[in-house]
Amino acid sequence: MKTAHDLVATAKSRVQEIALADAEQAIRNADVLVDVREADEYAAGHLTGAAHMSRGMLEFKFSANPALESRDLKVVLYCKTSGRAALAAAALQDMGYLNVQSLAGGYDAWTAAGKPITKPETPSFE
């Protein structure tokens, strides 16, 4: 029986992971940057310009959005540490997307390197 780690390892063996050093350029070249973490994780902070599509809804959101139907789109995905993003990248490849990349180390590696993120602003009631 396979574990979640087995599935992630298999996905990582078939998808292209971007090293953190190359991530900013890959994101600039991408047509879409997708955060596949859960909504509360995204709301706590995310890479600037990232669209939120939780891992569980990714295939449905890509299928339902005409702006995402081109299989030539350049897609960069990330999650907390890279497991969910690898699974998401493999799923998009299975759907026929040709230019899918996953950020190695995910959000945690990005923030540990001091790279910019967007956080929601807390409303002021003064």
Distance, in Å, from the CA atom of 97 to the CA atom of 93, rounded to the nearest integer, reads 5
Query: Residue 73's closest CA among 84, 85, 65?
Result: 65
| Active-site entry in 8, 27, 53, 79 | 79
Q: Is 118 a catalytic residue?
A: no
**Any long-range contacts for 12-15 (C-beta under 8 Å, 24+ apart)?**
12/82, 12/86, 12/102, 14/90, 14/93, 15/86, 15/89, 15/90, 15/93, 15/100, 15/101, 15/102
- Residues annotated as part of the active site: 79
